[in-house]
């Protein structure tokens, strides 16, 4: 299955070789577009939230590298005084600040009143759990990273049977690869099915 074409980046965010690692889909389109429109942010800072392993760090890192911004990831583990001064500096210099976190305030509790006030006016953008297309593309890419190709019928089987999240994509690729190596088996649908059952990713349920 071919990964969806990447959306062209704007001229003020020139594309680099690492950008192709970020696959754009409905799960992250809003976040991707938010960074494309950074010149229209109400303040020169933003909070990016989303599941871990979702590509949030990659998106943020590529952005700040291209436009000369500053990144704190994970932001909720930083000293609040440091974030406060970084936020102010971003407004003074016009170089954007990106804060990557699991959750946005107020779920991410801020003790420093001045920082809390500033983050309250800072836009938040989110990456959601993967849709079917993104999940399938991630699995194919993870196999490709190992020099492997998963047949289409096996890919469809996997996508229809497992929990659709970023962690599971990595876990199942590792489980299938290890099983195939141990069994000296090709990546066929029966091999994939047995690997998922052996790895307790799916219930056998009499499918053997």
Whether 151 and 119 map to the same domain: the answer is no
Domain hosting 114: range is: 17-126
Tokens 């993104």 -> residue:
134
In a domain, 3, yes or no: no
Whether 99 and 160 map to the same domain: the answer is no
- According to DSSP, the β-strands at 124-126 and 45-49 are parallel
CA count, 13 A, side-chain hemisphere, 33: 6
Residues sharing a CB contact under 8 Å with residue 7, sequence separation 6 or more, in sequence order:
24, 32
Q: Average pLDDT of 177-188? A: 95
* Residue range 48-90, pLDDT digits in tens: 999 999 999 999 999 999 999 999 999 999 999 999 999 999 9
CATH number of the domain residue 184 falls in: 1.10.8
- Overall number of domains in the chain: 2
* Residue range 31-47, pLDDT digits in tens: 999 999 999 999 999 99
């Amino acid at each position: 299955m071919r990964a969806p074409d990447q959306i062209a980046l704007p001229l003020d965010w020139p594309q680099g070789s690492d950008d192709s690692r970020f696959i754009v889909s409905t799960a992250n389109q809003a976040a991707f577009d938010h960074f494309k429109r950074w010149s229209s942010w109400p303040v020169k800072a933003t909070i990016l939230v989303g599941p871990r392993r979702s590509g949030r760090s990659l998106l943020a890192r590529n952005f700040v590298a291209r436009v000369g911004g500053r990144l704190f990831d994970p932001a909720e583990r930083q000293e609040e005084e440091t974030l406060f001064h970084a936020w102010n500096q971003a407004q003074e210099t016009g170089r954007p600040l990106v804060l990557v976190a699991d959750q946005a305030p107020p779920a991410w509790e801020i003790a420093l009143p001045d920082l809390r006030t500033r983050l309250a006016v800072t836009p938040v953008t989110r990456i959601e759990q993967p849709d079917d297309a993104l999940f399938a593309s991630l699995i194919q890419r993870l196999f490709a990273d190992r020099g492997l190709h998963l047949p289409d019928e096996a890919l469809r089987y996997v996508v229809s049977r497992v929990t659709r999240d970023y962690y599971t994509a990595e876990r199942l690729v590792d489980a299938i690869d290890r099983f195939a190596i141990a069994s000296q088996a090709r990546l066929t649908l029966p091999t994939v099915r047995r690997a998922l059952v052996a790895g307790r990713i799916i219930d056998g349920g009499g499918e053997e």
